[in-house]
Amino acid sequence: MKKHRPLPTTEHSNRRSKNIDRLSTAQIVELINSEDMLVVPAVGKERKKIAVAVDVIVEHFRKGGRLFYVGAGTSGRLGVLDASECPPTFGVSPKLVQGIIAGGRRALVRAVEGAEDNANNGAREVIKRGVCNKDVVVGIAACGLTPYVRGALRQARKLKAGTIFITCAPESVKGIPARIIINPVVGPEIITGSTRMKAGTATKLVLNILTTTAMIKMGKVYGNLMVDLTATNNKLRDRSVRIVVGMTGLSRTKAAKLLERAQGKVKAAIVMHFRKINLHQAITVLDECGQSLRKAIKEGK
């Protein structure tokens, strides 16, 4: 007789919310908030694995590789969200971090029924993106079972890409085709199976840590300042000026003029100021210093 796979934790019924429909509004909010408090400690228990995953991503970035998130539903949307936020925050190409969601762009705003059930489609998408051994593929599936994601990871392994998997279901960890498995166990959801809640929050936290830490290691941050940001709106243009003012001591007017000469490139503007060089020279210096602003400034003193 074929053994049944254990029901994932994400599908268990939460005994604390079994009568949630009988509670007052304030009680429901309090209960949801109390469950959300379990998420951060669960992610914290996985910090060593997350750190290993970051080092793998950075290693592949330094070889000219890319990072791909693959997921379905909420998991897929979170991957696309994190990927889309990297270019404006860290000034990287949209190709460096990419999100793949089962069902394509339409699935970002509307459920595409059955899209997650085809493992071959996941594999085909990995091939379509030209994934190779320089790249890293991160599979995201709250329940750990999504065929589309597993198919993508299996194909990524065949192509000798780095493989990482994020799931909130400990029952599904065995047999996952990934080198590193990050498994924050947040327990059953307030509404049974609604992984857009605790599991989604845990996933978002993990993705934030992966890309933010990787970008810090890649020299995209100086101190706690996003010195490689792309100023695409007034808020970011103002932030660029404030960063230059804070690091150079220049007035806002002079900082704005310096940024104009640097074509809006914050990091280059700062190097231009401290080393008294032009934009072309500043870009060359940064390249020679591996894009490390701290090193570029230090070597000029």
* pLDDT tens digits, 43-59: 999 999 999 999 999 99
Task: Decide if 112 contacts 103 (C-beta within 8 A).
Answer: yes
Sequence-distant (6+) residues with CB within 8 A of 115 are 72, 102, 103, 104, 107, 121, 148
| Catalytic, out of 116, 125, 171, 189 | 116
pLDDT, tens digit (0-9, with 9 covering 90-100), for 7-39:
889 989 999 999 999 999 999 999 999 999 999
Q: Residue 69 forms beta bridges with which residues?
A: 99, 138
Distance, C-alpha 135 to centroid of its chain: 15
Do residues 240 and 264 make contact, with C-beta atoms less than 8 angstroms apart? yes
Would you identify the CATH topology of the domain 234-298? Helicase, Ruva Protein; domain 3 (1.10.8)
Coil, strand or helix at 140: strand
CATH homologous superfamily for the domain 9-217: Glucose-6-phosphate isomerase like protein; domain 1 (3.40.50.10490)
CA distance 258 to 252: 10
Count Cβ atoms below 10 Å from residue 16 Cβ, excluding itself: 13
Residues counted in the chain: 301
Q: Which residue has the tokens 């934790």?
A: 9
What is residue 1's predicted lDDT score, i.e. its pLDDT? 42
Known catalytic residue: 113?
no
166 bridge partner residues: 140, 182
Give the pLDDT confidence score for residue 4 in this predicted structure.
63
Q: Is 171 a catalytic residue?
A: no
Chain-centre distance of CA 165, in angstroms?
Answer: 13
Asked if the domains at 9-217 and 234-298 fall in one CATH topology, the answer is no
Quote the CA–CA distance of 135 and 60 in Å, as a whole number: 6
Please give the pLDDT value at position 233: 85
Of 170, 201, 198, the closest CA to residue 7 belongs to 170
> In the chain, where are the structural domains located?
9-217, 234-298
> Which is catalytic among the residues 11, 35, 46, 85?
85
Q: Mean pLDDT in runs of 10 for the chain (301 residues)?
A: 72 93 97 97 98 98 97 95 94 96 88 84 96 98 94 97 97 91 96 95 98 95 89 88 95 95 93 96 94 83 51
